[in-house]
Structure 1
Amino acid sequence: MLSSVSSIEVLQFLCKIFFCIVQNNRTASPLPGTSPADQFSEGRALRLIKRLANDFPHRQVGAKHYSDASAFLLDEARSVQRLAAKRQDLSVQDFFEAGILPADTDFRMMSAKYFGELPGLDIAFLLDSGAYHMLADVPERIRPGTLQAMGENVAELIVDIGDNLKQGKDEVEGDEKLIFFDVLGLFMVTYPMRLARILHRTPLILALALPLLSLAVGPKLQRTVLQQYLEQSKMALVAFLSAALAVITPVLFSVAFVYVTGRPLAWVGHSAAAYALYMPLALAGALLPYGLAPNAQPKWVLLGFAVHMGVLAELLTTAGLGAGYALTAWALAAIFASLFVSGEDGGVQLPWLVLAAAPAILLVAPPALMLSLHIVQKASTSGAPFLQYGTDISVAVVLGLSLIGCVGFLGGLFAIQFRAKIWVPVLMLCVFSAIFGVVWTQRVQPYTAEAPKKVYMYHMHHVNGRRVASSTWDLAAIDSSPVSWALPSSLASLPVGEWNSGSQIVLYPVNKFMQGISLPAPAPEPGTPLPRVDLISLSFPSFGFYGALNLTGDMTAWSFTNKTWPIEGAKAERMVRFTGAKGSETWRFWVDIRTGGQLAIDVVAASIAKEASEAARLTASFPAWASVAASEAYHMHWASEPSEP
């Protein structure tokens, strides 16, 4: 693959990576003397680019098709990951690609895996994510020197590209997935999926083989081989129930907590509060099955846990997911710890447990906690489709899974020491969460000026022909707490109506993850020029408008795309988003419809509310813990008349 890579393609690849980094980390001016220009003025990067062009003039120039694994065909991709993402982990990638969270990026949709051929890496930044897409998202919030760091990353990246091209490295096959994970931010471990299919199955094979091996090489045991396998299977089932209850217990508590207090997202802006609410419940659920298991012994707790983790690792790897490495690590740790158990029913000393569990904890706990923290941080921007319980349930699930990754088999060994008294620590953990939740909701406001509730407000004017038929305040929020919480008194007294389709169109597809309301609003000033829809063009009175054009009907084609259309007789729906820059206030387009067919057009044109507008004045009346993005918008609908039979 590398033999056909041109120096031009390398530079394009660099530019796209650098653009992706800067786009995701919109940086402010760094400290004096630390700008990227100072870094590059030394000529180091320019000399490297020239060296690449001179050393590889024979590389073929032209457009290339990049496969799903193209981001990892070269070591330079791994270099930018190492430099820009110190805590990278494939399990996080698996989580987001599974579609569990209603989130996506333009880069990913335009990558080779989806609808484009864009190579590169998608990088997410977590610091100060509460300011993203809000009024406080200003350059002054960005830490100085950020662009300097990005410039250094790109310069190092060019060095790696040159070295790899010169050495002719080819890391993986074109369509093969690469397993990668970080070890304490010190180094990365990478291996191809073909090796993962062997490594991730090894613990299960070892765990199942140990009873036979102990019969062959060890002293005579009290249990037969069949009895050993039955005991191992029983404890594997207990391990499964423990993992299930570690998730179910905080989920049930989250539902009850939100129902009783009426306060979803009580921990927004205070991430530690989410852990204090749900982690003790997860631990209580994880301990309970082991404490109730009759005659559970350390050796079989460990081997049953190893079988449980081994089976899950096998299932994940077979499904093509890379997160099986974490389960494999815990399974191997459990097998290793079982070797230090004295006899079938003997105990194990604490130092050996720490020695066996430490590598798995150091490997799995950091990415598990990082992912859970990311979900908690992003919870304020999701959850609306799942009513008021959705976000708390999601966070409870993630924190329960994180606890399993952090504790492993240690919880089971701790629980069997209590036996019949297991209810004592379980009840103590439950009481702690309940008391903390009640006290927290009584004393702490979930939203703050630093972590506000994000509200989108449109002063929507519904246009009929050449006049405004009605106007509404359309307000929407993307979290699971009601948008009515943030309403100022001037709006709270107005009759609430169903969320209008106009603002849903302009917010599409994010509207599917939001909840909104519509309230009566004043009409625009008399004589205000209106956008208009003609049969073949879309025009605006001035530049600066943005929005969406939605067409529904018996279409066979239109001028914006040549994508495949629905089968014969089916209705088609197409949408295009637009931004009106200066000099492009009008777009001409065409639509083909079937003979005798019908067509409906919806257009929503919006612009940022001007300082003197009614929307801007109303924005100032919202509470300080609400961040309002206000726009002035117009919704127009046009439909063809039904044809005569």
Structure 2
Amino acid sequence: MASDTAAKSHRRNTPRHLFGVYSTMFALVAAANWYSMRRVPAPLPSTAPANVFSEERAMLHVRHLADVIGDRQVSTPGLEEAARYLLSVFDGLAEEAARSRPDLVVEASIEKVTDSMTLKAFGHTFGNAYVGLSNVVLRIAPARGPGARAPAVLVNSHFDSAMGSVGASDAATCIGVMLEVARVVVANRGRSPAAPLVLLLNGGEETLMQAAHGFMRHGAHAPGLGAFVNLESTGPWGPDVLFQSSLDWTLPAYARSAPHPRGNTVFQDFFDLGLIPADTDYRLFSYRRAGSLPGIDVAQVFDGLAYHTNQDVADRVRPGTLQSMGENTLAATLEFARVLGSGQPPPASAPGDGYVAFDLAGLKMVVYSYALASRLHHVPLVILFQVLLGSLLLPAANPRALRGFGLKAAAGGTLRAFFSVLLALVVPALLGATRALVTGAPIAWYGRYWQVYCTFFPAALAGLLLPYVLCTRRSSQPDAMVQSLGSATFHAAVASILAAHGIYAGYLNALWATGTILAVVLAWARPGPVTSLLAAALMALPLLVSMPVAVTALLYVTEKIGLAGAAPGLLGLVIGDVAIGTLAGVAGLEARWTVSAIDGFPVASTLPPHLLQHARPTTEPYWETVYPLNRLMQGLDMPAPPLENDTALPTLTTVAYGASPADASLLRWELELGLVEAGLGMVNCTGAASAWSFGEELAPVQTQGGFPAHLTRFSTAWGSKALRFWIDAAPGQVLSLTTHVAHLDATPATQEFLAQLPDWVSPVIMTTVQQKWNLEFR
């Protein structure tokens, strides 16, 4: 009787006892994660030995690009100045190698690329054409031996900046890292790369990966590549994170070589499933996307508030960020070269192959094959099934504490865990939607993280605990350990389902299920304070692994929602986010200001009252130059100063007209759009076109009039003043051709207008000319 009373008392006090233990454990793990996520190596000064990476030396290039040159948008003279500067650095390295490295062949070059492609991005399919973009290339190769003939490692980043930003982190920091990596390789006389290295500084990523496409299509060194490392940035704070890869030999190669490895395959799932509407040059290189190479995509991801704004300046780059990325990039690049130059072909990847990977506080990266994961992630469910089967078939042999874990208890615990997770998502979502609908305005997230935490964390916690709170009000509440096994069953089932569908994030559920099972077994095998601490330690491992993923995803998504803002309409209001930028443009020959915002905050609230006297809401496509981002914009029209009488306008001239070389039954109209100066823009060809030169497919978009519209973006480098293209159509067709040509240079009138905007906006200004022509095929 006394024994039974003690057991009942122990079970009654266990939830409260464990709550204190696990709360303390959670706080300690959270503190450790916060420290480890901010931990970067100390930056080395410019006086560091020549054969090691120095952040200070890399930052000299960052400051020259961002502070001295400044704006480097495609079509501006700043981008061409940057290309000349980068080529001079590469030329200097080639000269140094010629003097001191007879074992190396180092060649610097600049390549001009012109082409077009069909692109599927942001839920739209369109053409993407470019003229005269600059790629600055450095090739470092062994002078002799098998390594000289081995496939090369490509290291890529971009030196153009987004509109309205000098792009210190995106991506001058990555360029600085690459220049310093190249310098270290040349200076390290005791070690040559085992295979050639090709460093590509491309001049057109912000225009949706145009320059990388040009390199892969026309680059002199593109045919000899064997792997790649792509460097990116979504904020000026490190550490850098590997967020997607081709899931082949390059992933374990990075894991074993990088001194500060961070990354996991959860973000890979986000990109593969299309949950993150973003892209990098990785798309053009990886054979998992539109390219042909194995490789990795690495980015510094924190402080995204500065991303693509005028706040992305060199002084905002966190010390140690470049040191971390530089040491990782150098080590991974040389390891890739070692594999390619070993004489043994890298392991081939078959469909369904891949790896699961996650880091442990940036100290070590765990990598195991998906073939192993497809078996390993089922183990927790098998164990729980055996426990359940034993409870049903041999109840007397089951531990007393687990005798309640029968079929009913397992189903009940699993359902409670399911509804707990579901409500943790639904409750804050409903709260946000209700708040937006009641107030009639989306909330301003930008720079106000406390609103996210204070609004949604309590709501998520309430949803998470609600099923268990309701359960405790019932007289037949299950034992805490039986409830824990029910939760483990839920996570084990999720891990098995994800493994069966090839989703790599299932390792998190498998870890949670395994940790819970071991903790329960240990806690009930030898009850007591020491055992409780050991059980907490078992739960700490999945928490250590999952918490960085959760925090990084929360920060990334919150920052990107704050930047992207809310789309027009009721759905956009409910999704609503923050005011980030104001786009001002002089649209076409009708001479009006079109002020639009890529945000959910009312545009009118950003403008002084005297500017709103003659303003009216607009849905006209006066900002088609940034298609498809204009589909997210809200705007106002207001009177603007008229164009000068002598203003030069774009011209459209016929180069050739006649039968199509591709199909004699079609007619081809070859045209040239003459530009006053280099610019960005969009061509809209509406009608029954059969083919065009802007990509492999037309990808028509239906208009309100029922006619298909074929859209292509284009950009021309500084000094390129013409866009030549052709369109095929059947005889008798009449096509409507609309061009939107934008220039990013400011005028006195636009500067005066910008001066009246609030300090907190990050403005972009362009002058756009819209023109229309009819093409009759006869």
TM-score (norm: length of structure 1): 0.76
Matched, 1:309 2:454: no
Decide whether the 8 Å contact of 1:554 with 1:572 is kept in 2: yes
In the other structure, the counterpart of 1:454 is: 581
The amino acid of 1:580's aligned partner reads: T
Equivalent-residue separation in structure 2 for 1:501 and 1:252 (angstroms): 33
How many Å apart are 1:633 and its aligned residue?
Answer: 0.7
The amino acid of 2:307's aligned partner reads: Y
Q: 2:282 aligns with which of 99, 104, 107?
A: 107
In the other structure, the counterpart of 1:97 is: 272
Equivalent-residue separation in structure 1 for 2:256 and 2:449 (angstroms): 26
Matched, 1:528 2:672: no
How many Å apart are 1:158 and its aligned residue?
Answer: 4.1
The amino acid of 2:733's aligned partner reads: G
Matched, 1:48 2:192: yes
In the other structure, the counterpart of 2:385 is: 208
Q: 1:631 aligns with which of 762, 766, 774?
A: 766
Matched, 1:542 2:676: yes
Decide whether the 8 Å contact of 2:596 with 2:635 is kept in 1: yes
In the other structure, the counterpart of 2:154 is: 14
In the other structure, the counterpart of 1:605 is: 741
In the other structure, the counterpart of 2:561 is: 379
Cα shift readout 1:299-322 (whole Å, capped 9, x = no counterpart): 221121111111211222222110
Q: 1:339 to 1:76 in 2, by over 3 A?
A: closer
The amino acid of 1:265's aligned partner reads: I
Instruction: Map 1:132-171; keep pairs closer than 5 Å.
Output: 132-143=307-318, 151-165=326-340, 166=342, 168=344, 170=346
Q: 1:289 to 1:582 in 2, by over 3 A?
A: closer
Matched, 1:173 2:349: yes
How many Å apart are 1:64 and its aligned residue?
Answer: 7.3
Decide whether the 8 Å contact of 2:729 with 2:777 is kept in 1: no
How many Å apart are 1:583 and its aligned residue?
Answer: 4.2
Which structure: greater strand fraction? 2
Equivalent-residue separation in structure 1 for 2:182 and 2:357 (angstroms): 33
The amino acid of 1:514's aligned partner reads: M
Matched, 1:88 2:263: yes
Q: 1:619 aligns with which of 754, 767, 772?
A: 754
Equivalent-residue separation in structure 2 for 1:528 and 1:148 (angstroms): 49
The unaligned stretches of length 5 or more in structure 2 are 1-145, 161-166, 198-221, 229-243, 655-669
Equivalent-residue separation in structure 1 for 2:398 and 2:326 (angstroms): 66
Q: 1:239 to 1:83 in 2, by over 3 A?
A: same
Instruction: Map 1:357-436; keep pairs closer than 5 Å.
Output: 357-385=539-567, 387=569
Q: 1:116 to 1:220 in 2, by over 3 A?
A: closer
In the other structure, the counterpart of 2:592 is: 472
Q: 1:565 to 1:476 in 2, by over 3 A?
A: closer
Equivalent-residue separation in structure 1 for 2:543 and 2:402 (angstroms): 34
Q: 1:524 to 1:472 in 2, by over 3 A?
A: same
Matched, 1:188 2:365: yes
Which structure: greater helix fraction? 1
The amino acid of 1:302's aligned partner reads: S
1:330 aligned counterpart, secondary structure: helix
Decide whether the 8 Å contact of 2:519 with 2:536 is kept in 1: no
Q: 1:363 to 1:127 in 2, by over 3 A?
A: closer
Q: 2:296 aligns with which of 115, 121, 136?
A: 121
Equivalent-residue separation in structure 1 for 2:396 and 2:247 (angstroms): 46
Equivalent-residue separation in structure 2 for 1:285 and 1:270 (angstroms): 23
1:123 aligned counterpart, secondary structure: strand
Q: Which moved more, 1:6-15 or 1:246-255?
A: 6-15
TM-score (norm: length of structure 2): 0.64
How many Å apart are 1:361 and its aligned residue?
Answer: 0.7
2:302 aligned counterpart, secondary structure: coil
Decide whether the 8 Å contact of 1:500 with 1:518 is kept in 2: no
Decide whether the 8 Å contact of 2:157 with 2:174 is kept in 1: no
The aligned length equals: 561
Equivalent-residue separation in structure 1 for 2:530 and 2:455 (angstroms): 32
Cα shift readout 1:199-240 (whole Å, capped 9, x = no counterpart): 111111111211223554864688999981111101111111
Equivalent-residue separation in structure 1 for 2:447 and 2:480 (angstroms): 41
Equivalent-residue separation in structure 1 for 2:421 and 2:625 (angstroms): 43
Equivalent-residue separation in structure 2 for 1:636 and 1:18 (angstroms): 32
Q: 1:605 to 1:317 in 2, by over 3 A?
A: same
Decide whether the 8 Å contact of 2:168 with 2:313 is kept in 1: no
Cα shift readout 1:513-548 (whole Å, capped 9, x = no counterpart): 333343333321222111123354344453232111
In the other structure, the counterpart of 2:122 is: none
Decide whether the 8 Å contact of 2:523 with 2:532 is kept in 1: no
Q: 1:117 to 1:473 in 2, by over 3 A?
A: farther
Equivalent-residue separation in structure 2 for 1:525 and 1:42 (angstroms): 56
In the other structure, the counterpart of 2:620 is: 500
Aligned residues with identical type, % of pairs: 29
The amino acid of 1:202's aligned partner reads: V
Equivalent-residue separation in structure 1 for 2:372 and 2:523 (angstroms): 31
Q: 1:622 to 1:266 in 2, by over 3 A?
A: same
Q: 1:75 to 1:591 in 2, by over 3 A?
A: closer
The amino acid of 2:687's aligned partner reads: G
Equivalent-residue separation in structure 2 for 1:81 and 1:600 (angstroms): 57
In the other structure, the counterpart of 2:305 is: 130
